[in-house]
Structure 1
Amino acid sequence: MDVDLDLGDPADALRARLRELLTELLPDDWAGPFSDDPEVRRVVRSVLDRLADERLLTIDWPVEYGGAAASVWESTVLREEMWAHLEPRGPQYMGLSWVGPTLMAFGTEAQKRTHLPPIAAGRRIWCQGFSEPEAGSDLGSLSLPATADDDGWVINGQKIWTSYAPIADWCFLAARTSHDVRSKNRGVTIFLLPMDRAGISVRPIASMMGEQHLNEVFFDEVRASRADVLGEVDEGWQVIKYVLNHERVGIPRYARDERLLAELAETTRDADPASRADFARALVHARTARLLNHRAIALREQGGLTDRAASGARIASIQLDQEVAGLVLDILGPAGLRPGTDGLLSHAEDVYRYARSATIASGTIEIQRMLVARSLMQEAKQ
């Protein structure tokens, strides 16, 4: 299919407005939101409040849920600019990008009234309870049991690698409510649980990614009721598929990488021929990743998004993320290890560490390649 690279005047105007706002609100030494520093939290709060005031925070949501009913391309511009500026919305992006839309698709009216307004205001942080010690990219293998009794369910077990768990208000939890011999994907149920519910505890995992990113979450005799269930009992895999569909094309890593390359361009003029060739190659890969992502977004808008298109776009993006992060440090040398106030390159070392997880988070690159291969095989059979 053809994709028009001219996103239109409204999208261009939005991009200009967002850059104006972020220039005003972000400090010169802005290194990202994932910190417990009170000043960092103040900046995040100021960005969220301003975006919410202008109905930019949930720009593509329906008006009745606090949005502006903007086009999918305006939503794409919003995500691109947020990512290019080190995601100043902080952990809120999770609720905004996929928890909210998933609630609209599967939630009860009571769940929508409870959760959508605070998400639209940037006042509710979510964490995602998917991965377990023995179930990561293969989510069908998750085993955290939710055992039914007369009053609902009792949940016991552990989730791992749960980002933002120490500061989250709610958990989007996948648990096993039954075992179906026909398919391991059946028998999974999604629960919406407040993180202060009795029996839930969090233990941070120290890592090179820094604060907030990796945590263990433990469930000890945690009670859940029918009102906590999102969608149908035992049919949570349909919800998970919807979430992953949004995740795979909802994180525009290429936008940050393009900004890094733009800032690196002047430095590259004095680099050796091999480094200049690497820069040119990375620039081509960045344009390719953007095109593949825009194609996947267009397909989703038309209801024709395939695993091949979604995972192909994701593979290009996550490989680009690591390629650009490594290239920046190679060209900058020791200067790239010193934080500063001069643009995104001042945080090259932090970007490099964060990019190490790109090929693991939200489904490993091996899983994405498997999805592409499976899609091609199915097409060949038709």
Structure 2
Amino acid sequence: MEYDMGEGVETLRRDLRELVHKHVPPDFLGAFTDDPADLEVAQSFSRTLAELGLLCMAWPTEFGGRGATLWEQTVVREEMWAHHEPRGAQYMGVNWVGPAIMRHGTAEQQQRHLPPIARGEVIWCQGFSEPESGSDLASLRTTAHPDEESGGWRVSGQKVWTSYATMAQWCFLLARTSREKRRQQGLTVFLVPMSDPAIEVRPIPSMLGPHHLNEVFFDELRVTEADVLGTVGGGWSIVQEVLAFERVGIARYARVERLLQAAPAALGAEWDVLPEELRSRWARMLVHARRARLLAYRVVSLQAGGRIRPDDSAAYRIAVTRLDQESAEVLMDIVAGASLPGEEGRRFRRAVEDHRRYSVSATVASGSVEMQRILMSRSLLAAR
């Protein structure tokens, strides 16, 4: 199965690789390390992409984009993830925060939030998961109580696993504004500044390094009608839409494929003496990477046609997170007994170890594999 991605796509891919080679250090393994210079590399590179009209290519021109096709934007996300995401946390604003504000925001919200995202100047975090409401998001306890004094609400509660909360300027926050018969009802999305003193961020140390995992506490945070995205009580439908775009917006398969393809050259003569069973596993992972790519392309094709179904993005999510973990095991077995001499060998080993570290959480982050299977099952049952 092949998809027609349109003219100019290969030129775009080549231009992006040249930009990465020019602006991103060869040792770069992501923005969220102990070295602040890595974050600055990502912020600077995002601004460079924005100046060239490459950061938000598929956005409409009135919102700072180029009106490019979703396929062109797919090429951007593939090349960024293949090269350890040199946009840093900008993919969140580009892939789903910005589009959600386009579809559901007021003119004032669009004017306030979209230009900074399009320029690569602002970082967003996502206030969804809670200590007892991760996969079962509808059971969240963070509550927005009516504030009779201001006519708005006061938000109190706790979020957890909030990536980039220590560096973000804004939070896409989901809170309960009313108690309804169905838990999915009565939820509202608020767009809130992380600089508000009623918000406290506590980093959670982990093997993923700084910035990835944080607790966020809201202590009587004041919000108003102007902070509501969409309608009061209509947050669940926005979040379902957001998660579908988020899951396909991370092209994990591109990084996996690049690492797998780099293995023979990195090992040199040692590649030929690897056990046949290990090389067979390596080849199988290349096939699985291609499968995940095609599943992603199916969802992009549906998006291009103006529709997206949760079960399609769930199928992709299952395939790509399993690919993450299984490929990490194969790659770690490949480098385990290899000498990998020289600078290129050292970089390859570090990249594989980095991939392994992040793959551990792949089947949990952004919705567990178990929840994706439930989504697919419900869809199949509903179609019968």
Pick the TM interval, shorter chain: over 0.9
Q: Secondary structure at the match of 2:260?
A: helix
Q: SS of the residue aligned with 1:232?
A: coil
Distance apart, 1:93 and its partner CA = 1.1
Secondary structure at 1:222's aligned position in 2? strand
Tell me the SS of whatever aligns to 2:8.
helix
Matches within 5 A, 1:225-264: 225-264=224-263
Output the aligned Cα RMSD: 1.8
| CA pair 123-334 structure 1, distance change in 2 beyond 3 A | farther
**Percentage of identical aligned residues:** 50
Match of 2:292 in 1: 289
**How many corresponding residue pairs?**
377
Distance across 2 between alignment mates of 1:247 and 1:318: 13
Question: What is the CA distance between 1:340 and its match in structure 2?
Answer: 5.8
Partner of 1:309: 312
In the aligned structure 1, how far is the partner of 2:184 from the partner of 2:284?
40
Q: What TM-score, normalized to structure 1? A: 0.95
What SS is found at the alignment partner of 1:249? Answer: helix
For structure 1, list consecutive stretches of 5 or more residues without a partner in the other structure.
Answer: none
Q: CA deviation at 1:322?
A: 0.8
Amino acid at match of 2:229: L
- 2: CA distance, partners of 1:262 / 1:83: 15
CA distance 1:167–1:285, shift in 2 (3 Å): same
Q: Does 1:133 align with 2:131?
A: yes
Q: 1:353 aligns with which of 338, 353, 357?
A: 357
For residue 371 of structure 1, what is the amino acid of its counterpart?
L
- Tell which deviates more after alignment, 298-307 or 319-328: 298-307
1:147 aligns with 2:145: yes
Match of 1:210 in 2: 209
Q: TM-score, normalised by structure 2?
A: 0.94
Partner of 2:372: 368
Counterpart CA distance in 2 for 1:339 and 1:131 is 43
Give the drift of 1:300: 2.1
Distance 1:338 1:94, change over 3 A: farther
- CA distance 1:378–1:344, change in 2 (3 Å): farther
Q: Is residue 169 from structure 1 mapped to residue 173 from structure 2 by the alignment?
A: no
Task: Assess if the C-alpha contact under 8 Å between 1:59 and 1:69 holds in 2.
Answer: yes
DSSP-derived class of the 1:178 partner = coil
CA contact 1:269–1:276 (8 Å) conserved in 2: no
Shift of 1:143: 1.4
In structure 2, how many angstroms separate the alpha carbons of the residues matched to 1:203 and 1:224? Answer: 22
SS of 1:269's equivalent in the other structure is helix
Q: Indicate conservation of the 8 Å contact 1:130/1:174, yes or no.
A: yes
Aligned residue for 1:154, secondary structure, equals strand
Task: Pick closer, same or farther for the CA change 1:305–1:265 going to 2, 3 Å.
Answer: farther
Could you list the per-position Cα deviations for residues 131-157 of structure 1 after superposition, in whole angstroms to 9, with x for gaps in the alignment?
001101111111101001221101111
- The amino acid across from 1:300 in the alignment is Q
Amino acid at match of 1:311: A
Q: Is 139-148 or 266-275 further displaced after alignment? A: 266-275
Could you tell me whether the CA contact under 8 Å between 1:259 and 1:344 is conserved in 2? no
Change (3 A) 1:336 1:307: farther
Q: Which amino acid aligns with 2:354?
A: D
- The separation in 1 between residues aligned to 2:256 and 2:349, in whole angstroms, is 11
Counterpart CA distance in 2 for 1:349 and 1:300 is 34
Report the counterpart of residue 197 of structure 1 in structure 2.
196
What is the correspondence of 1:33-44 to structure 2 with a 5 Å cutoff?
33-44=31-42
Would you say the 8 A contact 2:92–2:246 is kept in 1?
A: no
2:321 corresponds to which of 318, 321, 344? 318
Between stretches 168-177 and 25-34, larger displacement belongs to 25-34
How far does residue 305 in structure 1 lie from its aligned partner after superposition?
Answer: 2.6
Provide the rounded CA distance (Å) in 1 between the counterparts of 2:58 and 2:40. Answer: 25
Alignment partner, residue 24 of structure 1 = 22
Instruction: Give, in angstroms, the shift of residue 338 of structure 1.
Output: 11
Q: Identify if the C-alpha distance between structure 1 residues 340 and 109 changes in structure 2 by more than 3 Å, giving closer, same or farther.
A: farther
What is the rounded CA distance, in whole Å, between the counterparts of 1:340 and 1:124 in structure 2?
35
Distance, in Å, in 1 between the alignment partners of 2:209 and 2:338 is: 21
After TM superposition, the structure 1 stretch with the greater mean CA deviation from structure 2, 22-31 or 38-47, is 38-47
Aligned mates of 1:365, 1:305 — CA distance in 2: 19
User: How much has 1:341 moved relative to structure 2?
Assistant: 5.2
Structure 2: runs of 5+ lacking an equivalent: none
1:96-135 maps to which residues of 2 (within 5 A)?
96-135=94-133
Contact 1:328 1:336 in 2 (8 A): no
Output the CA distance in 2 between the equivalents of 1:39 and 1:133: 32
Q: Note the C-alpha offset of 1:29.
A: 1.0
Is 1:170–1:194's contact at 8 Å kept on the other side of the alignment? yes
Shift of 1:314: 1.1
Displacement of 1:347 after TM fit?
A: 1.9
Structure-2 separation of matches of 1:141 and 1:298: 33
State the 1:36 CA deviation: 4.9
Q: Encode CA deviations 1:329-374: one digit per residue, 9 max, x unaligned.
A: 1111066999965555432112101111110010000001111111
Contact 1:336 1:345 in 2 (8 A): no
Q: Is the 8 A contact 2:187 2:235 kept in 1?
A: yes
2:43 to 37, 42, 45: 45
Contact 2:34 2:209 in 1 (8 A): no
Residue matched to 2:58: 60
